[in-house]
Amino acid sequence: MNPKQLGSFRQTRISFSRSLLRKMMREQWVIKNSAKQLDDNGYGHFIYEIDTKQGLLTFIAFSDEIDEAERNDRVISEKWDITFALIEGRMTHQKYNHLKSELPKQEFGRGTEQDIVWSRANKSTRMFNYIVNALSAGEQPDPKELAKVGYILRTTAFYGNGKFGVASYKKLNKTHPLYGAFRAQMLAAYLLRHFSFELVEHIAAAASGHAVSLEPEIKRYLGIGNATGLGMVPFLIKHPKLVNRWLLLRELALARAKNNWMTEGDVNQLQHFLNAAIDYLKEYPAIDTALFAEPLGVAGELAFIKQELSRMYEHHKGGIKWHMFTSLVEPRIDSESQEFLNTLLIELFPEQVDCLGEETTVDESYELEPGMTVQRLMTIIQSQYSWVFQFDFTKKEEKYYFWYRSAEKEEPRIGIRGSDPGEAYEMEMNIAEDIQNLYDTLIHYPDTQNYVSLFLLKYPRFRNTVRRIQSLEGLEFAEIRGNLQNKGMLPIQLMRCKLSLFGADRFDPKSNKWVRITLYQGAPLISDLTETCDDHWAFPLIPQIKKGEANGV
């Protein structure tokens, strides 16, 4: 649970987006165009219906004209190229009119319980125009140019769980087709990706009678972009039971993979995955900051893993398990290379790990146990929270930052303590200091055999901290073991952790506070979604399209 290691995670085959696509394939969901009304410039709306076999869902996207100066990925923006929603049931005239009025407003709009997700996206203007111009000229865009960005549209937020009046997450229960962590948001992102292809093809066809459609290989290579900031970090602190479940599932998948004996077939398959990963990293756009490892450096370490894999298997000939191999190579490689190897090992054993992708929800209730003794509470802290005592909060650098919510849109921000405004509205983010203060009080409590209820009558300020500790007893992966106020802390590490669980890749940090990523790059198209579809689509390579190869629209 070290932030640096968490900040090295990559997607796995049990990431939310990938497990959703497998569900769609397995259950043979049918997605079709229901309505389309776009002008020659691509402004208007597009509607898809999704037959999940458990109920009908509808996706609607509004494409609007905005000035270049209004296009902004920050949460404070008030206009976007695209606003879209995922709703239950079929679109009615009344519902369409309501969404047309409210959805483009986003924070200033109001949804209903029929709405599951609201979101918005902007064009990658250079990429969007480049693709439209190429298609209208009867040509395919150069895949090498596409690789510089990797998507046509870029989202900035996915809203659900009651925000703006949309349906509560509780509505997505076990009988709902979108039951599971963030499956509604992942479906909305997948459908937006499909819409992005239809949008550029529509504009190209309107501009020229010689226009062509995007080649399927190019469509598969393109994903959907996302820009994420500090708002993602408090989620990991406020939802420790969810964090524990998600990371436990990942660790279970890895443990199952590592417990297998190294067979010739699996070794050859991992060599294939490593070759593909190395090529993928060599094609990876350069990272502007030093926040994450350079792709070429990771590629070099994956090549080292390849060599060690061949050498070790040749020496042991199947008499060794994967965990023995990883224990020998991990001390010699960087954390990002370690996690890339973990991702590829999990990829090797779908029949053993895919079921874990269906277990991403958990009861998030937190109960106070008043009958627990003070001594028992102290024992839990000593065994499960010993890491909190590594921080000395009397030092200025350990409390350098504070977290607060902006007045503009109530989004999390960080400020420098004693310098920036907002300190009076500080959020509770420093779990380590809270537990230190609690423990210091506990050790001076006169009767440790007394009940916690009596302790809290005297010290009510510790009620929430005690309840958290009691509720998380035995949950090894619930707490981020770092100090989120430290001068050297990197919020982007925790952003990457959560984004990897979604299935994100191509992490492109713009600072230590926000990052651009890509979802669904390499993923099958809607037309590909069959039970026999290849599910090993992560880390795609630039497609090889011959010049002049094209299909008519």
Q: Tens digits of per-residue pLDDT, 505-516?
A: 999 988 888 899
CA atoms within 13 A on the CB side of 254: 20
Averaged pLDDT for residues 442-461: 96
pLDDT at 409: 64
Band the pLDDT of 75: cuts 50, 70, 90: low
pLDDT at 553: 43
At 35, which helix (H) or strand (E)?
strand 30-38
Task: Answer yes or no: is pLDDT of 91 > 90.
Answer: yes
65-79, 118-132, 279-293, range with greatest mean pLDDT:
118-132
d(CA 451, CA 461): 16
Task: Answer yes or no: is pLDDT of 70 > 90.
Answer: no
d(CA 18, CA 25): 11
Task: Answer yes or no: is pLDDT of 37 > 70.
Answer: yes
Contact call for residues 477 and 1 (beta carbons, < 8 A): yes
Could you report the per-residue pLDDT of 385-439, keeping only the tens digit for each?
999 999 999 999 999 999 998 876 678 899 999 999 989 899 999 999 999 999 9
Band the pLDDT of 551: cuts 50, 70, 90: very low
pLDDT at 180: 95
Could you report the per-residue pLDDT of 152-174, keeping only the tens digit for each?
999 988 999 899 899 998 999 99
Q: Pairing relation of β-strands 505-509 and 515-519?
A: antiparallel
Band the pLDDT of 150: cuts 50, 70, 90: very high
Instruction: Tell me which residue of 364, 328, 325 sits closest to 348, measured CA to CA.
Output: 325
Averaged pLDDT for residues 5-33: 96
Averaged pLDDT for residues 527-538: 86
pLDDT at 288: 66
Cα-based angle 9, 246, 234 (whole degrees, multiple of 5):
80
Task: Answer yes or no: is pLDDT of 550 > 50.
Answer: no
Cα-based angle 490, 327, 360 (whole degrees, multiple of 5):
55
d(CA 400, CA 88): 46
Band the pLDDT of 1: cuts 50, 70, 90: confident
Q: Which range among 21-25, 293-297, 313-317 shows the weakest confidence by mean pLDDT?
A: 313-317
The mean pLDDT value of the chain amounts to: 93
pLDDT at 115: 97
pLDDT at 299: 96
d(CA 273, CA 490): 30
Could you report the per-residue pLDDT of 480-497, keeping only the tens digit for each?
999 999 999 999 999 999
Could you report the per-residue pLDDT of 197-247, keeping only the tens digit for each?
999 999 999 999 999 999 999 999 999 999 888 888 999 999 999 999 999
Share of the chain above pLDDT 70, in %: 97
pTM: 0.94
pLDDT at 73: 66
